[in-house]
Amino acid sequence: MQSVFQLAAVHGMLYTGGNVAFAPDGTQLYSPVNNYLSAVQLQQAGHLSLSCSNSTVSCFDLSPDGDLAIVVGQRGLGFFYSISARVVLDTLSFPPNCTIAAVKFSPCGKYVAVALEATLQVYTAPAKRVVSFHGCHRIEQLHAVLTRPITNLDWTADSAHLLLCGQDARMKIVPRQGKQHQKGMALQQNALIGHRSAVLGAWFTNDDGSEVVSVAADNVVVTWHRAAITRREVLQAIATAQLQARVGEDNNAEASDNVEDRDDTAEEDAPSPRSFLERQRLEQLRLEGVRVSVADDSYLPPILRHAYEVKDKFMLAHKGSVSVTAFHKPRGLLAIGYSSGIFAIHTLPEAKGGELALVHLLSISAQSLTAAAFSPNGDWVAFGSAHLKQLLVWDWKAEAYVLKEQAHYYDIACAAITADSTNIISGGDEGKVKVWKVASGQCFATFTEHTGPITGISTSASTNAFFTSSLDGTARGYDLVRYRQFRVFSPAEQTQLSCIAVDPSGEVLATGSSQMNKIFLFSVQTGKLIDVLQGHEAPITCVAFHPSGTSLTSGSMDHNIVFWDLFNQNDSGERLKGDGEVLDIGTEVLCVTYSSSGRRMAVLTAKQEISVYETTVANEPQLIKTFLTAFDAAGGWRKEVGPNSANYNTHFTRISFSPEGEKLLAGGDSKWLVLYHATQGYVLKKWPITTNLDVQGAEEQYQWRNATEAGFLDDIDVDDDDIHLTRRKLLEMPGSRHRHFATGKRKTELKARAMDVAFAATGSEFIAATTDGLLLFSMRVSRPRFQPLQLSAQVTTAEVRQQLESGQPVLALIGALNLGDNALGVECLRRMPHDAIPVAVTAVPSALFPLFMRWVSEEIEQCRGLEHVLLWAQSLLLHSNEAFGGVAAQQDPRVLPALKTLQRSLYQHRLLTQLSRENYFSVKYLADATRMSTSTLEPFEDAAKET
């Protein structure tokens, strides 16, 4: 019994907050999804979910080569994640209560800058992409470089200096690693001051760092250029101007004293005469001149020594306040996103006094934009809206969407897989129904006809249709060919529908009511009500058709399961209504499910018991096994009940049978998805729904330090910039002794739970609708790409040949693949023992699999040992998940051409196949003849005597 399911992908969400970034080649878009990074394929359908953090991702950045990512979570941990190896290489620890708004790789890829509120830290990136190598070290830390939190970072082209901007309306240029400050040395910072509001973005517009552009929250864009004078000369000029102003005021005062004709009003308004010391000080300044800092600035580079002055200032008039900005340096494009959901693209003026030309203006969302990024070539711009969980990629030249995805606004209430296992259907609490591709994870159809939360989804194996039920009192049928609604099923009375099921033929639809305790039967062809089944005394929780189609099973909160015989007729041929067998369970029924053959039925009850019945005869269930699931669902603490929540208040609500009827999948109000043996009741495997510690129920240890008199600290907004605290308008809470706990503000937090689970008809995949999205588990998941042999310097030709001689052919083959030596690889293939071929196929890493398949294809075409190479081809197709349905087959474009090459190589031996089939009986006759014993003819003895 196979239970080697692994998490293959997370569908249903592509963006939940934070920044977004394009891959260096522009083919992928990376966006945060809770504690994952979602890599969306833009040129071909598909996406990959990378689990790279233990908490919700707040910001991230990609290295210039696109293979390394720095990911920072909200719990103060940063992770260096290798995208190709899909493994964390190193970690960084930050203060837990510190907000990190920006991280940025240097253009050379050797350094990483991190903005910890108003503090700047610079680290070295891992030089070797090896887990055991600790190559991340802090080389610079500037405390309070700005007075308010830093909002954006940008590097110079030589990776020597950084440009910072913050909420204090200031910008600064600082060195990557400053010299040790000594007495008499000038300050190694260059300030740019000219904005009146928070600066959300600032970038160098040329390679030498002499031009800068900045965007402020008050819709002001300012361009800067480096002046010819130094900062010291600017300070000298400012001090001289202030001196002249003071001296001019003094001269005006002396001149006014010489005037004799003054009225009383003029005497009252005149300034008070200067004292003797003030006059002496002004006289001394006239003689000696103004004094400024004499610090040595000769060692500073021009970017720090020379001052920056305003070149142009532009006041934009777009609707809303600026929420996010992005800049494309090669083409000089500036994208500005607003809180009103619109964005504008401008081009910077080439000369002073030019206009900030508007290239494009579009409204793409109803909520504030929270992320923006340009593609490497500048043709595409990506925007994200965290409030709507929306991700957009817009081609501003063609004025068309490259990508437009939006998750369910609220939780996913239910989900199902179509009969061909190619599509996933999800229904949300906001009333929308979405259809997702299993292979790519992209939503290609959205239906908005329901006006209430979706309560059930049922697919029809015989037709290309699926059906949904909702609390709005209607059930609807949708066509997966034309992607439209084709039928509405409404009961005669207004009620709320809680469950739905369709018979195997796709002709009869059954819906259960949670208010009227009735079951409504509809004809799919006409949409008319066929019958109403009454018999339950409490709300109906689930309905399910027997796979034979002759019986309908319903479960209710009245402790009963009823088996309705839908085709029972009397002698006159009339159908008997309400004829059903009642099975008393003794507790509330939560879920009923059948195996695909109909031989077994499983029932989940409120006592957390799963009962498995033999249902060869649909109306005569025979109990096989009953087992308890409460201890399997336990795990994770909930702050509302304290540390004992690991043993209480967690339970399963949904179960699903595997197609063969040997496995049961359970999920619900718990952090676990559990796979049971259906007839024995023991646990085959458990998977956590999420590893995000910011989700309730995911953490195992109770956090006593966060418990206060007002609740948990994570639930209370204690920021100093809180509007209630700044204005001292506190919403007092009774019994509160701390001003931070008196605001009454609370945060919302996700809870680890599964709303629905479903097996695919193939049995090799199943889905779970959770708070993290649609989790897809599959047996056909490729192995991790990280292999130590790929990174070791000891992999040489001599080492590979030594492994061949010492009886290690599998390691020798992998070493040859790492080296890419074709001749050495062919030698390894030919010298591989027959019994080691399946082991070698399963040991090949995903990154080397296309090359391995090409070698096997060429060997089939050229090698004379046909039996040996056919064993390679057979093992490659039977014992590997890479070629068919694996993640590598979906993400690596080299797999499909290699597979076609293998097919062509096998097709070349078709003549041998035909000859073998034609001569099969002849060869069999000859083989049997060789096994026959030869006999000699001897004369009879009687005949010999007569002669």
Q: Which amino acid is at 815?
A: G
Closest CA to 424 of 929, 38, 776, 48: 776
What is the model's pLDDT at position 160? 92
Among 250-264, 333-347, 605-619, 899-913, which stretch is predicted with the lowest mean pLDDT? 250-264
What is the model's pLDDT at position 171? 93
Neighbouring C-alpha atoms within 13 Å toward the C-beta of 913? 6
What is the model's pLDDT at position 568? 63
What is the model's pLDDT at position 730? 42
Please state, rounded to an integer, the average pLDDT across all residues of the chain.
Answer: 82
820 CB burial (10 A radius; 0-12, 13-18, 19+): exposed
What is the model's pLDDT at position 571? 54
What is the model's pLDDT at position 731? 43
Any residues with CB less than 8 A from the CB of 646 and at least 6 apart, and which? 634, 635, 636, 637, 700
How far apart CA 838 and CA 872 sit, in angstroms, is 8
Q: Which run of H or of E encompasses 327? A: strand 322-328
Are the C-beta atoms of 255 and 234 separated by less than 8 Å? Answer: no
β-pair type (138-142, 119-124): antiparallel
DSSP 642: B
pLDDT at 519 over 90: yes
pLDDT band at 634 (very low <50, low <70, confident <90, very high): confident
Sheet containing 600-605: give its strands across.
Answer: 589-594, 600-605, 609-614, 622-628
> For the chain, what is the radius of gyration of the CA atoms?
37
How far apart CA 856 and CA 147 sit, in angstroms, is 63
Q: What is the pLDDT of residues 339-398, one digit of tens each?
A: 888 999 999 988 787 888 999 898 888 788 999 999 999 999 999 999 888 999 999 988
Any residues with CB less than 8 A from the CB of 548 and at least 6 apart, and which? 504, 598, 618
Are the C-beta atoms of 813 and 789 separated by less than 8 Å? Answer: no
Per DSSP, helices labelled H in 637-787 are 723-726
pLDDT at 927 over 60: yes
Averaged pLDDT, 784-789: 44
What is the model's pLDDT at position 133? 58
How far apart CA 415 and CA 247 sit, in angstroms, is 80
Closest CA to 212 of 89, 334, 50, 32: 334
What is the model's pLDDT at position 738? 46
Averaged pLDDT, 877-897: 56
* Three-state helix/strand/coil letters over 779-813: CCCCCCCCCHHHHCCCCCHHHHHHHHHCCCHHHHH
What is the model's pLDDT at position 782? 53
pLDDT band at 225 (very low <50, low <70, confident <90, very high): very high
Positive or negative: CA dihedral 700, 705, 708, 712: negative
Are the C-beta atoms of 761 and 419 separated by less than 8 Å? Answer: yes
Place of tokens 């992320």: 371
What is the model's pLDDT at position 265? 45
Q: What is the dihedral of CA 821, 826, 832, 834, to 10 degrees?
A: 140
* Three-state helix/strand/coil letters over 75-95: CCEEEEEECCCCEEEEEEECC
How far apart CA 318 and CA 219 sit, in angstroms, is 8
Q: What is the pLDDT of residues 430-444, one digit of tens each?
A: 999 999 988 888 888
Among 206-215, 222-231, 906-915, which stretch is predicted with the lowest mean pLDDT? 906-915
Q: Which amino acid is at 461?
A: A
Averaged pLDDT, 808-823: 84
Tell me if residue 400 falls in helix, strand or coil.
Answer: strand
Are the C-beta atoms of 41 and 49 separated by less than 8 Å? Answer: no
Q: What share of the chain is helix, strand, coil (3-state, %, to 5)?
A: 20, 35, 45
Place of tokens 């790279």: 52
Q: Give the residue with greater pLDDT, 61 vs 762.
A: 61
Please give the domain boundaries of the chain with CATH numbers for all domains: 1-7+585-700+750-779 (2.130.10.10), 452-548+559-568+579-584 (2.130.10.10), 799-908 (1.25.40.190)
Helix axes 822-830, 849-862, angle to 10 degrees: 70
What is the model's pLDDT at position 587? 92
Contacts 24+ apart (CB under 8 A), 759-762: 759/417, 759/656, 759/657, 759/658, 759/659, 759/665, 760/417, 760/421, 760/659, 761/417, 761/419, 761/420, 761/421, 761/461, 761/596, 761/659, 762/421, 762/659
What is the model's pLDDT at position 845? 76
Q: What is the pLDDT of residues 710-738, one digit of tens each?
A: 666 666 655 544 444 444 444 444 444 44
Closest CA to 473 of 497, 455, 456: 497
Closest CA to 664 of 653, 651, 679: 679
Neighbouring C-alpha atoms within 13 Å toward the C-beta of 662? 7
Q: What is the pLDDT of residues 59-92, one digit of tens each?
A: 999 999 888 999 999 888 999 998 887 888 888 9
What is the model's pLDDT at position 727? 41
How many CB atoms neighbour CB 567 within 10 A?
9
What is the model's pLDDT at position 744? 43
pLDDT at 706 over 90: no
What is the model's pLDDT at position 501? 94
What is the model's pLDDT at position 9? 85
How far apart CA 634 and CA 102 sit, in angstroms, is 38
DSSP 586: S
pLDDT at 791 over 60: no
Neighbouring C-alpha atoms within 13 Å toward the C-beta of 518? 16
Report the percentage of the chain scoring pLDDT > 70: 80
Q: What is the pLDDT of residues 170-196, one digit of tens each?
A: 999 999 987 777 666 777 888 898 899
The two tokens of residue 836 are 């080691």
pTM of the model: 0.78
Among 204-218, 359-373, 640-654, 782-796, which stretch is predicted with the lowest mean pLDDT? 782-796
Q: Using alpha carbons only, what angle is made at residue 484 by residues 483 and 489, rounded to the nearest 5 degrees?
A: 135
How many CB atoms neighbour CB 721 within 10 A?
10
**In sequence order, what are the beta bridge partners of 763?**
none
Averaged pLDDT, 218-241: 84
Averaged pLDDT, 285-309: 77
Are the C-beta atoms of 43 and 15 separated by less than 8 Å? Answer: no
What is the model's pLDDT at position 821? 80
Are the C-beta atoms of 495 and 472 separated by less than 8 Å? Answer: no
Q: What is the pLDDT of residues 534-584, one digit of tens each?
A: 888 899 999 999 988 888 999 999 999 999 887 765 555 454 444 678 888
How far apart CA 20 and CA 32 sit, in angstroms, is 7
Q: What is the pLDDT of residues 104-131, one digit of tens each?
A: 999 998 999 999 989 999 999 887 666 5
Residue by residue, DSSP assigns 444-497 as EEEE----S-EEEEEE-SSSSEEEEEETTS-EEEEETTTTEEEEEE--SS---E
pLDDT band at 935 (very low <50, low <70, confident <90, very high): low
